[in-house]
Structure 1
Amino acid sequence: MEKSSPEKLILVTHEAGGIACITINRPHSLNSLTKSMLTDLARIFKSLDADDSVRVIILTGSGRSFCSGIDLTAAEDVFKGDFRDMEIDPVFQMEQCRKPIIGAVAGFAVTGGFEISLACDILVASKDAKFLDTHARFGIFPSWGLSQKLSRIIGPSRAREVSLTATPINAEQAERWGLVNYVVDRSELLNKARQIAEAIIKNNQDLVLRYKAVINDGFKHDLTRALALEKERAHEYYDGMGKDYFKKMQEFIAGRNTSKPSSKL
Protein backbone atom coordinates (compact mmCIF):
# COMPACT_ATOMS: atom_id res chain seq x y z
CA MET A 1 0.00 0.00 0.00
CA GLU A 2 1.17 3.49 -0.80
CA LYS A 3 0.62 6.18 1.81
CA SER A 4 -0.52 9.24 -0.09
CA SER A 5 -1.26 11.61 2.78
CA PRO A 6 1.43 13.38 4.80
CA GLU A 7 -0.96 13.70 7.75
CA LYS A 8 -0.16 11.51 10.75
CA LEU A 9 -3.59 11.64 12.36
CA ILE A 10 -5.61 10.99 9.19
CA LEU A 11 -3.94 8.40 6.97
CA VAL A 12 -4.86 7.58 3.37
CA THR A 13 -3.76 4.49 1.48
CA HIS A 14 -4.51 3.66 -2.15
CA GLU A 15 -5.05 -0.02 -2.92
CA ALA A 16 -5.32 -1.97 -6.12
CA GLY A 17 -8.47 -1.61 -8.19
CA GLY A 18 -9.45 1.85 -7.03
CA ILE A 19 -9.96 1.39 -3.28
CA ALA A 20 -8.90 4.25 -1.02
CA CYS A 21 -8.72 3.57 2.71
CA ILE A 22 -8.92 6.44 5.22
CA THR A 23 -7.77 5.67 8.76
CA ILE A 24 -8.45 7.95 11.72
CA ASN A 25 -5.14 7.49 13.52
CA ARG A 26 -5.17 8.86 17.05
CA PRO A 27 -5.51 5.59 18.96
CA HIS A 28 -4.20 6.87 22.32
CA SER A 29 -7.26 9.20 22.43
CA LEU A 30 -9.67 6.60 21.00
CA ASN A 31 -9.50 8.52 17.72
CA SER A 32 -11.14 11.64 19.14
CA LEU A 33 -11.14 14.49 16.63
CA THR A 34 -9.42 17.85 16.87
CA LYS A 35 -10.31 20.79 14.65
CA SER A 36 -7.32 20.16 12.37
CA MET A 37 -8.33 16.49 12.02
CA LEU A 38 -11.87 17.48 11.05
CA THR A 39 -10.50 19.86 8.44
CA ASP A 40 -8.13 17.21 7.06
CA LEU A 41 -10.87 14.59 6.95
CA ALA A 42 -13.19 16.93 5.04
CA ARG A 43 -10.51 17.87 2.52
CA ILE A 44 -9.49 14.25 2.02
CA PHE A 45 -13.05 13.18 1.21
CA LYS A 46 -13.40 16.07 -1.23
CA SER A 47 -10.09 15.19 -2.86
CA LEU A 48 -10.90 11.48 -3.19
CA ASP A 49 -14.29 12.31 -4.66
CA ALA A 50 -12.53 14.29 -7.41
CA ASP A 51 -9.92 11.56 -8.02
CA ASP A 52 -11.01 9.46 -11.01
CA SER A 53 -8.72 6.61 -9.96
CA VAL A 54 -10.72 6.12 -6.75
CA ARG A 55 -13.89 4.07 -7.04
CA VAL A 56 -14.71 3.10 -3.43
CA ILE A 57 -13.65 4.59 -0.09
CA ILE A 58 -13.23 2.63 3.15
CA LEU A 59 -13.23 4.59 6.42
CA THR A 60 -11.90 3.04 9.62
CA GLY A 61 -10.06 3.83 12.83
CA SER A 62 -6.82 2.56 14.33
CA GLY A 63 -6.51 0.86 17.68
CA ARG A 64 -9.43 0.07 20.00
CA SER A 65 -11.94 2.59 18.65
CA PHE A 66 -13.48 3.72 15.38
CA CYS A 67 -13.95 7.30 16.57
CA SER A 68 -14.90 8.65 19.99
CA GLY A 69 -16.16 11.95 18.57
CA ILE A 70 -14.92 15.46 19.17
CA ASP A 71 -12.00 15.83 21.57
CA LEU A 72 -13.81 17.59 24.43
CA THR A 73 -10.60 19.31 25.52
CA ALA A 74 -10.67 21.10 22.14
CA ALA A 75 -14.46 21.44 21.82
CA GLU A 76 -14.46 25.23 22.14
CA ASP A 77 -12.01 25.51 19.26
CA VAL A 78 -14.16 23.18 17.15
CA PHE A 79 -17.52 24.85 17.71
CA LYS A 80 -16.58 28.51 17.62
CA GLY A 81 -15.90 30.68 14.59
CA ASP A 82 -16.06 28.91 11.22
CA PHE A 83 -17.52 25.56 12.33
CA ARG A 84 -20.38 26.18 9.88
CA ASP A 85 -17.97 26.26 6.93
CA MET A 86 -19.07 23.30 4.79
CA GLU A 87 -15.67 23.10 3.12
CA ILE A 88 -14.15 21.85 6.37
CA ASP A 89 -17.18 19.85 7.57
CA PRO A 90 -16.31 16.13 7.18
CA VAL A 91 -19.88 14.85 7.38
CA PHE A 92 -21.07 17.35 4.76
CA GLN A 93 -18.20 16.31 2.47
CA MET A 94 -19.04 12.64 3.03
CA GLU A 95 -22.67 13.31 2.13
CA GLN A 96 -21.54 15.15 -1.02
CA CYS A 97 -19.11 12.41 -2.02
CA ARG A 98 -20.24 10.55 -5.13
CA LYS A 99 -18.12 7.49 -4.39
CA PRO A 100 -19.53 4.71 -2.18
CA ILE A 101 -18.19 4.95 1.38
CA ILE A 102 -17.86 1.78 3.46
CA GLY A 103 -17.43 2.28 7.19
CA ALA A 104 -15.41 -0.39 9.02
CA VAL A 105 -16.28 0.11 12.69
CA ALA A 106 -14.38 -1.57 15.51
CA GLY A 107 -14.81 -0.58 19.13
CA PHE A 108 -16.58 2.65 19.95
CA ALA A 109 -18.35 5.01 17.55
CA VAL A 110 -19.35 7.73 20.00
CA THR A 111 -21.45 10.85 19.33
CA GLY A 112 -19.54 12.62 16.52
CA GLY A 113 -18.03 9.25 15.61
CA PHE A 114 -21.54 7.80 15.53
CA GLU A 115 -22.60 10.62 13.20
CA ILE A 116 -19.60 9.97 10.94
CA SER A 117 -20.57 6.29 10.74
CA LEU A 118 -24.11 7.30 9.73
CA ALA A 119 -22.63 9.30 6.83
CA CYS A 120 -21.23 6.07 5.36
CA ASP A 121 -23.22 4.22 2.70
CA ILE A 122 -22.50 0.72 4.02
CA LEU A 123 -21.37 -0.29 7.52
CA VAL A 124 -19.40 -3.34 8.64
CA ALA A 125 -18.87 -3.73 12.39
CA SER A 126 -16.67 -5.91 14.53
CA LYS A 127 -18.33 -7.98 17.24
CA ASP A 128 -17.06 -5.56 19.91
CA ALA A 129 -18.45 -2.46 18.17
CA LYS A 130 -20.66 -0.09 20.15
CA PHE A 131 -22.57 2.93 18.86
CA LEU A 132 -23.21 5.55 21.53
CA ASP A 133 -24.91 8.98 21.45
CA THR A 134 -23.81 11.17 24.38
CA HIS A 135 -25.12 14.52 23.12
CA ALA A 136 -27.73 14.66 25.90
CA ARG A 137 -25.21 13.63 28.57
CA PHE A 138 -22.77 16.44 27.79
CA GLY A 139 -25.23 19.12 26.69
CA ILE A 140 -24.05 19.24 23.07
CA PHE A 141 -26.69 19.74 20.39
CA PRO A 142 -26.34 17.33 17.42
CA SER A 143 -25.45 19.03 14.14
CA TRP A 144 -24.23 16.22 11.88
CA GLY A 145 -27.57 14.51 11.40
CA LEU A 146 -27.82 11.98 14.21
CA SER A 147 -31.17 13.27 15.48
CA GLN A 148 -32.74 12.72 12.05
CA LYS A 149 -30.83 9.84 10.46
CA LEU A 150 -30.92 7.37 13.32
CA SER A 151 -34.72 7.44 13.65
CA ARG A 152 -35.07 6.80 9.92
CA ILE A 153 -32.86 3.72 10.19
CA ILE A 154 -33.91 2.06 13.46
CA GLY A 155 -37.27 3.75 14.06
CA PRO A 156 -38.17 6.78 16.21
CA SER A 157 -38.92 4.88 19.44
CA ARG A 158 -35.58 3.09 19.46
CA ALA A 159 -33.77 6.28 18.41
CA ARG A 160 -35.37 8.23 21.25
CA GLU A 161 -34.28 5.61 23.76
CA VAL A 162 -30.73 5.47 22.41
CA SER A 163 -30.26 9.23 22.37
CA LEU A 164 -32.20 10.31 25.44
CA THR A 165 -30.70 7.64 27.70
CA ALA A 166 -27.21 7.61 26.13
CA THR A 167 -27.47 3.82 25.97
CA PRO A 168 -25.02 2.08 23.61
CA ILE A 169 -26.13 -0.09 20.71
CA ASN A 170 -23.97 -3.21 20.56
CA ALA A 171 -23.00 -4.90 17.31
CA GLU A 172 -25.67 -7.60 17.54
CA GLN A 173 -28.42 -5.01 18.08
CA ALA A 174 -27.03 -2.82 15.33
CA GLU A 175 -27.24 -5.67 12.82
CA ARG A 176 -30.70 -6.73 13.99
CA TRP A 177 -32.00 -3.16 13.74
CA GLY A 178 -30.55 -2.61 10.27
CA LEU A 179 -27.92 -0.10 11.37
CA VAL A 180 -25.01 -2.20 10.08
CA ASN A 181 -24.83 -4.56 7.13
CA TYR A 182 -22.49 -7.16 8.65
CA VAL A 183 -20.93 -8.09 11.99
CA VAL A 184 -17.62 -9.95 11.81
CA ASP A 185 -14.62 -10.80 13.96
CA ARG A 186 -12.34 -7.80 14.42
CA SER A 187 -9.58 -9.62 12.50
CA GLU A 188 -11.89 -9.89 9.48
CA LEU A 189 -13.26 -6.32 9.55
CA LEU A 190 -11.15 -4.77 6.79
CA ASN A 191 -11.23 -7.95 4.72
CA LYS A 192 -15.04 -7.84 4.71
CA ALA A 193 -15.02 -4.14 3.82
CA ARG A 194 -12.65 -4.86 0.93
CA GLN A 195 -14.83 -7.73 -0.30
CA ILE A 196 -17.76 -5.35 -0.53
CA ALA A 197 -15.59 -2.72 -2.23
CA GLU A 198 -14.34 -5.25 -4.78
CA ALA A 199 -17.91 -6.33 -5.57
CA ILE A 200 -18.82 -2.70 -6.23
CA ILE A 201 -15.75 -2.14 -8.41
CA LYS A 202 -16.77 -4.99 -10.73
CA ASN A 203 -19.83 -3.03 -11.81
CA ASN A 204 -20.37 -0.11 -14.16
CA GLN A 205 -18.73 2.84 -12.43
CA ASP A 206 -20.94 5.51 -13.94
CA LEU A 207 -24.11 3.71 -12.91
CA VAL A 208 -22.72 2.98 -9.43
CA LEU A 209 -22.33 6.73 -8.87
CA ARG A 210 -25.77 7.50 -10.28
CA TYR A 211 -27.38 4.64 -8.32
CA LYS A 212 -25.90 5.78 -5.02
CA ALA A 213 -27.12 9.31 -5.72
CA VAL A 214 -30.69 8.32 -6.58
CA ILE A 215 -30.98 6.08 -3.51
CA ASN A 216 -29.63 8.77 -1.18
CA ASP A 217 -31.56 11.61 -2.80
CA GLY A 218 -34.78 9.63 -3.00
CA PHE A 219 -34.60 8.72 0.68
CA LYS A 220 -35.08 12.40 1.51
CA HIS A 221 -38.54 12.42 -0.11
CA ASP A 222 -41.81 10.56 0.25
CA LEU A 223 -42.26 7.51 -1.99
CA THR A 224 -44.28 9.32 -4.68
CA ARG A 225 -41.64 12.01 -5.17
CA ALA A 226 -38.83 9.46 -4.91
CA LEU A 227 -40.33 7.33 -7.69
CA ALA A 228 -40.70 10.41 -9.86
CA LEU A 229 -37.05 11.25 -9.16
CA GLU A 230 -35.99 7.80 -10.33
CA LYS A 231 -37.92 8.31 -13.59
CA GLU A 232 -36.29 11.71 -14.11
CA ARG A 233 -32.79 10.34 -13.52
CA ALA A 234 -33.44 7.34 -15.78
CA HIS A 235 -34.51 9.60 -18.66
CA GLU A 236 -31.44 11.78 -18.13
CA TYR A 237 -29.21 8.71 -18.14
CA TYR A 238 -30.59 7.12 -21.31
CA ASP A 239 -30.79 10.46 -23.13
CA GLY A 240 -27.12 11.00 -22.35
CA MET A 241 -26.09 7.55 -23.55
CA GLY A 242 -27.16 8.19 -27.15
CA LYS A 243 -28.72 5.95 -29.77
CA ASP A 244 -26.00 3.30 -29.67
CA TYR A 245 -26.53 2.45 -26.00
CA PHE A 246 -29.05 -0.37 -26.43
CA LYS A 247 -27.08 -1.83 -29.31
CA LYS A 248 -23.98 -1.94 -27.07
CA MET A 249 -26.05 -3.49 -24.29
CA GLN A 250 -27.30 -6.24 -26.59
CA GLU A 251 -23.75 -6.91 -27.76
CA PHE A 252 -22.60 -7.13 -24.15
CA ILE A 253 -25.39 -9.53 -23.17
CA ALA A 254 -24.63 -11.72 -26.19
CA GLY A 255 -20.96 -11.93 -25.25
CA ARG A 256 -21.29 -11.90 -21.46
CA ASN A 257 -20.08 -15.46 -21.05
CA THR A 258 -16.87 -14.85 -22.96
CA SER A 259 -15.95 -11.27 -22.13
CA LYS A 260 -15.63 -8.98 -19.13
CA PRO A 261 -18.27 -6.31 -18.47
CA SER A 262 -17.59 -3.11 -20.35
CA SER A 263 -17.04 -0.03 -18.21
CA LYS A 264 -18.70 1.97 -20.99
CA LEU A 265 -22.11 0.37 -20.54
Structure 2
Amino acid sequence: MEKPQSENLILVTRDTTTGIAHITINRPKSLNSLTRSMMASLAQAFKSLDADDSVKVIILSGSGRSFCSGVDLTAAEDVFKGDVKDEETDPVVQMERCKKPIIGAISGFAVTAGFEIALNCDIIVAAKGAKFIDTHARFGIFPSWGLSQKLSRIIGPYKAREVSLTATPLTAEQAEKLGFVNYIVEANELMVKAQEIAKSIAKNNQDLVLKYKSVINDGLKLNLGDALALEKARAHKYYAGMTKEQFKKMQEFIAGRSSRQSKL
Protein backbone atom coordinates (compact mmCIF):
# COMPACT_ATOMS: atom_id res chain seq x y z
CA MET A 1 0.00 0.00 0.00
CA GLU A 2 1.25 3.48 -0.84
CA LYS A 3 2.17 5.54 2.22
CA PRO A 4 0.19 8.73 2.91
CA GLN A 5 1.63 12.09 1.98
CA SER A 6 1.95 13.13 5.62
CA GLU A 7 3.11 16.66 4.92
CA ASN A 8 -0.27 17.53 3.44
CA LEU A 9 -3.54 18.46 5.12
CA ILE A 10 -5.23 16.25 2.53
CA LEU A 11 -3.84 12.71 2.80
CA VAL A 12 -4.14 10.26 -0.09
CA THR A 13 -3.39 6.54 -0.02
CA ARG A 14 -3.90 3.88 -2.67
CA ASP A 15 -4.13 0.15 -2.00
CA THR A 16 -3.09 -1.41 -5.28
CA THR A 17 -4.11 -4.91 -4.16
CA THR A 18 -7.77 -3.97 -3.65
CA GLY A 19 -8.11 -0.92 -5.90
CA ILE A 20 -9.41 1.12 -2.95
CA ALA A 21 -8.08 4.65 -2.42
CA HIS A 22 -8.56 6.73 0.71
CA ILE A 23 -8.69 10.51 1.03
CA THR A 24 -8.46 11.96 4.55
CA ILE A 25 -9.13 15.58 5.45
CA ASN A 26 -6.35 15.97 8.00
CA ARG A 27 -6.66 19.13 10.07
CA PRO A 28 -8.09 17.66 13.29
CA LYS A 29 -7.17 20.54 15.62
CA SER A 30 -9.46 22.79 13.54
CA LEU A 31 -12.13 20.09 13.17
CA ASN A 32 -10.97 19.71 9.55
CA SER A 33 -12.11 23.18 8.51
CA LEU A 34 -11.04 23.97 4.96
CA THR A 35 -8.60 26.60 3.78
CA ARG A 36 -8.40 27.60 0.12
CA SER A 37 -5.24 25.54 -0.37
CA MET A 38 -6.94 22.51 1.22
CA MET A 39 -9.86 22.86 -1.18
CA ALA A 40 -7.45 22.90 -4.12
CA SER A 41 -5.62 19.85 -2.74
CA LEU A 42 -8.89 18.00 -2.19
CA ALA A 43 -10.00 18.79 -5.74
CA GLN A 44 -6.67 17.59 -7.10
CA ALA A 45 -6.90 14.38 -5.06
CA PHE A 46 -10.22 13.45 -6.65
CA LYS A 47 -9.02 14.41 -10.12
CA SER A 48 -5.83 12.36 -9.73
CA LEU A 49 -7.59 9.26 -8.36
CA ASP A 50 -10.24 9.43 -11.06
CA ALA A 51 -7.50 9.34 -13.70
CA ASP A 52 -5.71 6.41 -12.02
CA ASP A 53 -6.82 3.15 -13.68
CA SER A 54 -5.69 1.13 -10.64
CA VAL A 55 -8.27 2.89 -8.43
CA LYS A 56 -11.75 1.38 -8.37
CA VAL A 57 -13.36 3.02 -5.32
CA ILE A 58 -12.59 6.09 -3.20
CA ILE A 59 -13.28 6.42 0.54
CA LEU A 60 -13.43 9.96 1.96
CA SER A 61 -13.12 10.63 5.69
CA GLY A 62 -11.88 13.17 8.22
CA SER A 63 -9.29 12.68 10.94
CA GLY A 64 -10.01 13.21 14.63
CA ARG A 65 -13.40 14.26 16.01
CA SER A 66 -14.91 15.71 12.84
CA PHE A 67 -15.48 14.89 9.19
CA CYS A 68 -15.35 18.53 8.09
CA SER A 69 -16.57 21.59 9.99
CA GLY A 70 -16.83 23.69 6.84
CA VAL A 71 -14.74 26.55 5.53
CA ASP A 72 -12.14 28.13 7.82
CA LEU A 73 -13.99 31.38 8.57
CA THR A 74 -10.83 33.07 9.84
CA ALA A 75 -9.89 33.33 6.17
CA ALA A 76 -13.40 33.60 4.76
CA GLU A 77 -12.75 36.52 2.41
CA ASP A 78 -9.71 34.77 0.97
CA VAL A 79 -11.80 31.67 0.35
CA PHE A 80 -15.02 33.18 -0.95
CA LYS A 81 -13.47 35.94 -3.07
CA GLY A 82 -10.54 33.85 -4.19
CA ASP A 83 -10.61 31.03 -6.70
CA VAL A 84 -14.16 29.89 -5.99
CA LYS A 85 -15.01 30.07 -9.70
CA ASP A 86 -12.06 27.91 -10.72
CA GLU A 87 -13.45 24.44 -11.42
CA GLU A 88 -9.98 22.89 -11.29
CA THR A 89 -9.65 23.81 -7.60
CA ASP A 90 -13.30 23.18 -6.68
CA PRO A 91 -13.54 19.86 -4.79
CA VAL A 92 -17.29 19.48 -5.32
CA VAL A 93 -16.98 19.98 -9.08
CA GLN A 94 -14.23 17.36 -9.14
CA MET A 95 -16.35 14.99 -7.03
CA GLU A 96 -19.25 15.43 -9.44
CA ARG A 97 -16.93 14.70 -12.37
CA CYS A 98 -15.34 11.69 -10.69
CA LYS A 99 -16.33 8.47 -12.46
CA LYS A 100 -15.27 6.27 -9.54
CA PRO A 101 -17.75 5.53 -6.71
CA ILE A 102 -17.11 7.70 -3.63
CA ILE A 103 -17.94 6.41 -0.16
CA GLY A 104 -18.22 9.00 2.60
CA ALA A 105 -17.18 7.76 6.06
CA ILE A 106 -18.67 10.44 8.31
CA SER A 107 -17.88 10.86 11.99
CA GLY A 108 -18.41 13.87 14.23
CA PHE A 109 -19.55 16.98 12.40
CA ALA A 110 -20.32 17.56 8.72
CA VAL A 111 -21.05 21.29 8.77
CA THR A 112 -22.08 23.55 5.87
CA ALA A 113 -19.31 22.98 3.29
CA GLY A 114 -18.65 19.65 5.02
CA PHE A 115 -22.35 18.80 4.65
CA GLU A 116 -22.16 19.69 0.94
CA ILE A 117 -19.09 17.51 0.44
CA ALA A 118 -20.84 14.62 2.22
CA LEU A 119 -23.89 14.94 -0.05
CA ASN A 120 -21.62 14.58 -3.08
CA CYS A 121 -20.55 11.11 -1.97
CA ASP A 122 -22.33 8.21 -3.68
CA ILE A 123 -22.75 6.18 -0.50
CA ILE A 124 -22.58 7.44 3.10
CA VAL A 125 -21.66 5.49 6.23
CA ALA A 126 -22.03 7.47 9.45
CA ALA A 127 -20.73 6.82 12.93
CA LYS A 128 -23.16 7.04 15.83
CA GLY A 129 -23.17 10.61 17.09
CA ALA A 130 -22.44 12.15 13.69
CA LYS A 131 -24.31 15.37 12.92
CA PHE A 132 -25.08 17.14 9.64
CA ILE A 133 -25.59 20.90 10.00
CA ASP A 134 -26.28 23.68 7.48
CA THR A 135 -25.15 26.99 9.00
CA HIS A 136 -25.20 29.12 5.84
CA ALA A 137 -28.10 31.21 7.16
CA ARG A 138 -26.54 31.58 10.59
CA PHE A 139 -23.26 33.05 9.35
CA GLY A 140 -24.47 34.88 6.25
CA ILE A 141 -22.79 32.56 3.76
CA PHE A 142 -24.48 31.91 0.42
CA PRO A 143 -24.40 28.21 -0.59
CA SER A 144 -22.43 27.47 -3.74
CA TRP A 145 -21.69 23.75 -3.54
CA GLY A 146 -25.25 22.56 -4.10
CA LEU A 147 -26.77 22.29 -0.62
CA SER A 148 -29.74 24.56 -1.40
CA GLN A 149 -30.71 22.36 -4.35
CA LYS A 150 -29.56 18.84 -3.51
CA LEU A 151 -30.87 18.59 0.04
CA SER A 152 -34.43 19.53 -0.97
CA ARG A 153 -34.39 16.88 -3.69
CA ILE A 154 -33.19 14.23 -1.26
CA ILE A 155 -35.29 14.93 1.85
CA GLY A 156 -38.08 17.06 0.39
CA PRO A 157 -38.44 20.85 0.26
CA TYR A 158 -40.33 21.26 3.56
CA LYS A 159 -37.77 19.43 5.67
CA ALA A 160 -34.89 21.01 3.76
CA ARG A 161 -36.23 24.51 4.42
CA GLU A 162 -36.44 23.71 8.13
CA VAL A 163 -32.90 22.28 8.23
CA SER A 164 -31.34 25.18 6.32
CA LEU A 165 -33.33 28.17 7.57
CA THR A 166 -33.10 27.19 11.24
CA ALA A 167 -29.61 25.60 11.10
CA THR A 168 -31.10 22.57 12.84
CA PRO A 169 -28.65 19.65 13.22
CA LEU A 170 -29.61 16.31 11.71
CA THR A 171 -28.38 13.30 13.65
CA ALA A 172 -27.05 10.25 11.85
CA GLU A 173 -30.27 8.45 12.79
CA GLN A 174 -32.42 11.22 11.29
CA ALA A 175 -30.25 11.31 8.18
CA GLU A 176 -30.70 7.56 7.73
CA LYS A 177 -34.49 7.90 7.99
CA LEU A 178 -34.43 10.80 5.53
CA GLY A 179 -32.55 8.66 3.05
CA PHE A 180 -29.04 10.05 2.62
CA VAL A 181 -27.16 7.87 5.10
CA ASN A 182 -26.87 4.21 4.12
CA TYR A 183 -25.54 2.77 7.39
CA ILE A 184 -24.96 3.85 10.99
CA VAL A 185 -22.19 2.05 12.86
CA GLU A 186 -20.13 2.38 16.01
CA ALA A 187 -17.23 4.80 15.61
CA ASN A 188 -14.63 2.02 15.70
CA GLU A 189 -16.49 0.19 12.92
CA LEU A 190 -16.73 3.15 10.55
CA MET A 191 -13.78 2.37 8.32
CA VAL A 192 -14.46 -1.36 8.53
CA LYS A 193 -17.94 -0.84 7.07
CA ALA A 194 -16.69 1.62 4.45
CA GLN A 195 -14.00 -0.87 3.39
CA GLU A 196 -16.58 -3.67 3.26
CA ILE A 197 -18.76 -1.69 0.87
CA ALA A 198 -15.74 -0.63 -1.20
CA LYS A 199 -14.58 -4.23 -1.58
CA SER A 200 -18.06 -5.30 -2.69
CA ILE A 201 -17.95 -2.65 -5.41
CA ALA A 202 -14.35 -3.39 -6.40
CA LYS A 203 -15.05 -7.06 -7.16
CA ASN A 204 -17.73 -6.26 -9.74
CA ASN A 205 -17.43 -5.51 -13.46
CA GLN A 206 -15.65 -2.15 -13.31
CA ASP A 207 -16.72 -0.96 -16.73
CA LEU A 208 -20.36 -1.38 -15.78
CA VAL A 209 -19.82 0.05 -12.27
CA LEU A 210 -18.61 3.29 -13.85
CA LYS A 211 -21.39 3.36 -16.42
CA TYR A 212 -24.03 2.51 -13.78
CA LYS A 213 -22.93 5.31 -11.46
CA SER A 214 -22.98 7.69 -14.41
CA VAL A 215 -26.47 6.81 -15.60
CA ILE A 216 -27.90 7.04 -12.06
CA ASN A 217 -26.33 10.43 -11.37
CA ASP A 218 -27.03 11.86 -14.82
CA GLY A 219 -30.61 10.59 -14.72
CA LEU A 220 -31.25 12.33 -11.40
CA LYS A 221 -30.83 15.66 -13.18
CA LEU A 222 -33.70 14.86 -15.56
CA ASN A 223 -37.41 14.21 -15.33
CA LEU A 224 -38.36 10.52 -15.24
CA GLY A 225 -39.31 10.28 -18.90
CA ASP A 226 -36.04 11.75 -20.09
CA ALA A 227 -34.09 9.69 -17.55
CA LEU A 228 -35.66 6.46 -18.84
CA ALA A 229 -34.82 7.49 -22.39
CA LEU A 230 -31.23 8.18 -21.29
CA GLU A 231 -30.94 4.71 -19.76
CA LYS A 232 -32.31 3.04 -22.88
CA ALA A 233 -30.01 4.99 -25.20
CA ARG A 234 -26.93 4.12 -23.15
CA ALA A 235 -28.02 0.47 -22.89
CA HIS A 236 -28.36 0.22 -26.66
CA LYS A 237 -24.93 1.80 -27.11
CA TYR A 238 -23.42 -0.55 -24.52
CA TYR A 239 -24.82 -3.74 -26.08
CA ALA A 240 -24.01 -2.58 -29.60
CA GLY A 241 -20.39 -2.28 -28.55
CA MET A 242 -20.15 -5.73 -26.95
CA THR A 243 -18.18 -8.40 -28.78
CA LYS A 244 -19.21 -12.03 -29.23
CA GLU A 245 -16.53 -12.94 -26.70
CA GLN A 246 -18.06 -10.62 -24.10
CA PHE A 247 -21.51 -12.12 -24.63
CA LYS A 248 -19.98 -15.59 -24.29
CA LYS A 249 -18.32 -14.67 -20.99
CA MET A 250 -21.61 -13.24 -19.71
CA GLN A 251 -23.42 -16.48 -20.59
CA GLU A 252 -20.69 -18.57 -18.97
CA PHE A 253 -20.91 -16.52 -15.79
CA ILE A 254 -24.70 -16.86 -15.61
CA ALA A 255 -24.48 -20.61 -16.29
CA GLY A 256 -21.84 -21.00 -13.58
CA ARG A 257 -23.94 -19.08 -11.08
CA SER A 258 -27.01 -21.20 -11.82
CA SER A 259 -24.90 -24.33 -11.31
CA ARG A 260 -23.60 -23.08 -7.97
CA GLN A 261 -27.08 -22.17 -6.78
CA SER A 262 -28.46 -25.60 -7.70
CA LYS A 263 -25.89 -27.22 -5.40
CA LEU A 264 -27.01 -25.24 -2.35
- Sort the TM-score into its range (normalised by shorter chain): over 0.9
Corresponding residue of 1:185: 186
The CA distance in 1 between the partners of 2:113 and 2:237, in whole Å, is 37
Secondary structure of the corresponding residue to residue 31 of structure 1: coil
- Cα deviations by residue, 1:27-81 (Å, 9 ceiling, x for unpaired): 0000000000000000010000000000000000000000001000111111113
CA distance in 2, matches of 1:7, 1:50: 23
- The residue number in structure 1 matching 2:251 is 250
AA partner of residue 68 (structure 1): S
8 Å CA contact retained: 1:128, 1:170: yes
> Which is further off, 200-209 or 2-11?
2-11
Query: 1:174 matched to which residue of 2?
Result: 175
CA distance 1:227–1:257, change in 2 (3 Å): closer
2:109 maps to 108
Structure 1 residue 7 displacement after superposition: 4.2
Percent identity reads 73
Deviates more, 1:191-200 or 1:72-81: 72-81
- Find the aligned partners of 2:239 and 2:136 in 1 and give their Cα distance: 45
Q: Does 1:218 align with 2:202?
A: no
Secondary structure of the corresponding residue to residue 2 of structure 1: coil
Q: Which amino acid aligns with 2:112?
A: T
Matched residue, 2:3: 3
RMSD: 1.4
TM-score normalized by the length of structure 2? 0.95
The separation in 2 between residues aligned to 1:107 and 1:148, in whole angstroms, is 24
Distance 1:44 1:257 in 2: 41
SS at match of 1:124: strand
Deviation at 1:216, TM superposition (A): 0.2
Matches within 5 A, 1:125-144: 125-144=126-145
Matched with 2:77 is: 76
Q: CA deviation at 1:243?
A: 3.7
Matching of residue 60 in structure 1 with residue 58 in structure 2: no
When normalised by structure 1's length, the TM-score is: 0.94
Structure 1 residue runs without a partner (length 5+): 260-265
CA distance in 1, matches of 2:38, 2:185: 28
Report what 1:37 is aligned to.
38
Residue aligning to 1:19: 20
The offset of 1:258, in angstroms, is 8.4
1:122 partnered with 2:97:
no
CA distance in 1, matches of 2:105, 2:258: 34
Quote the offset at 1:179 in angstroms: 1.6
Moved more, 144-153 or 237-246: 237-246
